[in-house]
Structure formats: C-alpha cells, structure tokens
Amino acid sequence: MSPQTFTQQYINGTWKNGSSDKLVNNTNPYTDQTLARIPSANKEDLDEAYKAASLAQKQWSSLTPQEKTACFEKLVVKMEERKEELIDWLVKEAGSTLTKAELEYQTAMGIIKESASFPFRVKGEIMPSNISGKENRVYRNPKGVIGVIGPWNFPFHLSMRSIAPAVATGNTVVVKPASETPVTSGLFIAELFEQAGFPEGVVNVVVGRGAEIGDEFVTHPIPKLISFTGSTEVGSRIGELAGKHIKDTALELGGNNAMIVLEDADLEKAAEAAAFGNFFHQGQICMAVNRLIVHEKIHDEFVERFRQKAAGIKAGDPSEKETMIGPLINKEAIERIQRALQASIEEGAERVLGGDFDGNVMVPTLLTEVTSEMPIARNELFGPVASVIKVSSEQEAIDTANGSLYGLSGAIFSKNIHRAVELAKQVETGMIHVNDQTVNDEAHVAFGGEKASGLGRFGGDWALEKFTTVKWISVMNGYRDYPM
C-alpha cells in the first residue's frame, strides 16, 4: 500500500477495501480539497477485525517482555523516520498548524516510549492468608481485545494514547478512527505498527461511519473494554451501550475549563498563558481554556494585556510557520460557534476583539461582560473564543469554576503558590495547573476528568491498570480441615 493513499482498511495484517457501498470522504478543512474517498467498512469487516484481534491476542500476550519492548523500540524508529510525512498529514487532514503538529508528534512519542516500559511493569503480588498453609497470589493479565474510537482534534496522539498502552500490556486492538481524520487517527498508525514488525492482528483499523458500525463496535461480544475520546454526548451513548453489555470503558470526554486569575497574579504571564490555552489549535482541544475567571481588581488590566496578545496572533494557512490559528474542522463548527457568539452578545456580552471568519478560519475572539448562563460560557466551545467572567472574591471564583457540568482541566494564577494550591483542591476537576494554562498532557501522569468529562485515567501506572485485570489464585500447601 502506498503511504500517500490510505484508502483501505487494515485487518489481520492485510490492507483491503471496505465492504460497504458507502464512502468516507477525507477532506482538507483549510482548502476543502478531497484528500481521499475511502470505501467504508461494514459490520462484516468489523467482525473480521475483532476475530483477528482475538486470535492474535493469545500469541502476542505470550511473548516475553523483551520481545514486546523490542517491537516498541522499532516503532520509535519508524516514527522518527516518517515524522515529516506525519506532520504533513496532520496539517492537511486535521487543520493542525506546524507548531501544533510538532507538539502532537512529541507528545505521542512520549506515550510510545512510556508504553515501551509496560511489559516489564505488569506485575502481581503475593498476599498472606488467614487460613493456615495458604498463600494468595494476585496475577495481573491483559484484558484481551480493546476497542479504540479515535478523535479528530489531536487524532494521532489521542488514538495512540490508548493503542500503545493497550498493546504494551498484552492486549490487541481494533481501532475506529474519526471519519474527519481517518489517516492520522488510524490508518497511518496501522502502517507504523506494520512496519515496526508487530504480529498480524495486533492492530486493526476499520474506517466507517458511526451510523453503520458505531453501535456494533461497542456491543460486539469480543472487546472487553471500549476506549473513547470525544464529546460527552457520544461518550454517554457509548457508556450506556457498554454498561448494558457489561463492558469496561475508558472515556475522556468534553471540557469547559476555567482559568482563574487572582488579584495577585503576574498579569503578563497570565495573559500569555491564557492566549496559548485559548487559541492553540483553534481552541479545538478538550483541555482548552473556555472561561477566564478574573478578579475585578485586575480585570481591566488583564483584559487589555490579553487583547494585545490575541491581536498579534496570526490566523490562516496552517502550513505557514507563523500561523497559530488554522481552520476549524468544518463549516458546521464555524456556524455553531457563530450562533453561540451572537446569542451571547444579544444577552449582554461585549465583543472586544475578533468574531470574523473566512472559510473555516476564525480569528481570535475576546468577549467580556460574560455570565455563566451565556451559551459562550455554558457550553464546551471548541473554537478560538475567549470569554472573561468578572468575580469579586476567591469563593465566587471557585463557585463559578465549579458551576459547570464538566470537570476536565483547570488553571489558577497567583504569586502565592500555597494559596493557589489550596484553591485548586476545591475545583471539581481531574487536572488543574498552578501558574500554567489548562492544556497539559504528560505520558507518565494521570490524565482524565470528573463529572461529565469522563471516566477513568490515562497515563503511566493508571493506564497500565486500566488495560489489565487481576486474578486471585489461592494455593494451599497441604489440605484444609473443613468444619462439617
């Protein structure tokens, strides 16, 4: 298969056309150019992929830790060799700027290198017993086959975040990439694993619309866990289906993240961090800053500093080095954000900067006089819009931050570290960062949210635990006397 086409499914080590009569159109969100038309997978293809993964899992899990790690070391080499090609695909398929694509590559590489150590970190324990002559052994084993549903915003990294640790802990995977980014959230990954020498069936990719294979992907009897990164609405549906069929899930869902700027904050540093957290990858990040909660004493000065930062950000062609804001993923995203923007202005928000768009590119936008009830602050926005909410006290800041269905990431700026940490403990969120913005992801640290932002944790030992299960085997040295 040519690495320039990516129009086929990858099942059991073979590239094959999808069996559906429907097509998945892969489109460049900046130019609107069609990159490829992919014959979609149907339920028969999906069944074939799951069965291949189930068969391969027994062989893969029986390999020694050294053999598994050696495959991951080759994967690192292949990623390094094909870095520029991957970055090119991230730019033209996902609308990534060059800066974002580089960061995504590095973050994914971190996941792979962390996962490479997992085969030697899967361990059990021996525990004492209250029964004389008995010992309790707890073995940790792979769960089996993992179903991975990839997202379109950080397609390579966020798909790899599930695929690499799942495979490293002895599982095999079937991946359903996002229809908007079938290459970078699935097919490119499959080819990397193939070139790195992973056995056939360890990684399988089926490209298909959710309407055709979405529910079956979750309800199929083979996968033991479904890992999904995406919207809360879709994640809720997946959780419902998985629960009905007694399947485990790893769900990293939406966010409505707050950055609190206290009156003693370094405003220049806070404004700089806020600009990055709001506008990196056009705000299309589950961890992006959606609400800036600013103390009234420094509100006006902070807004002006932030406005100056935002006004200097270049929006446009993502393939140009100076561009920080590229295209939103599609026209529907532009229309959705414009509706929320207009409705919030009608409710009293003041537009300080931006709001305009050209094609799928929207310039950095800043609103003040925002309240928590306005659409721009109430919903996960996924766009380059910053909303400033003015507060008069610490408690109001915390209450405002917590007044959301979501609880993924957060940030607090203050020169008093102890004060900031004590406040951070009160924010209902899975992750929060002091004197930094909300977009942070490190391969060895627990990543995940609270409330409507998801279930479970990715990263490090937390991922290792998520993708494995434990079995208790007790052993008698001799025989028991039973009271009969």
- Segment holding 172, helix H or strand E: strand 172-176
Q: What is the pLDDT of residue 5?
A: 73
Q: Of the residues 191, 252, 380, 394, which is catalytic? A: 252
pLDDT tens for 275-321 read 999 999 999 999 999 999 999 999 999 999 999 999 999 999 999 99
Classify domain 257-434 at the CATH superfamily level. Answer: Aldehyde Dehydrogenase; Chain A, domain 2 (3.40.309.10)
> Amino acid letter at 20?
S
What does the pLDDT read at residue 210?
A: 86
Q: Using DSSP, state whether 13 is helix, strand or coil.
A: coil
What are 111-158's pLDDT values in tens digits?
Answer: 999 999 999 999 999 999 999 999 999 999 999 999 999 999 999 999
- The answer to whether residues 328 and 279 touch, using CB atoms and an 8 Å cutoff, is no
Domain spans in the chain, listed from the N-terminal domain onward: 9-253+453-472, 257-434
CB distance 104 to 156 below 8 Å: yes
Q: Yes or no: is domain 9-253+453-472 CATH 3.40.50.740?
A: no
Q: What is the pLDDT of residues 211-251, one digit of tens each?
A: 899 999 999 999 999 999 999 999 999 999 999 999 999 99
- 216 catalytic? Reply is no
Spatial separation of the C-alpha atoms in residues 210 and 208, rounded to whole Å: 6
- Predicted pLDDT of residue 4: 46
What is the value of pTM for the model shown? 0.96
Query: What average pLDDT does the structure give for the chain?
Result: 97
Query: Helix, strand or coil for residue 97?
Result: coil
* β-strand pairing of 365-368 with 350-353: antiparallel
Give 187-192 contacts, CB < 8 A, sequence gap 24+.
Answer: 187/6, 187/8, 187/10, 188/3, 188/6, 188/86, 188/89, 188/156, 189/156, 189/159, 189/160, 189/163, 190/10, 191/1, 191/3, 191/6, 191/10, 192/75, 192/78, 192/79, 192/82
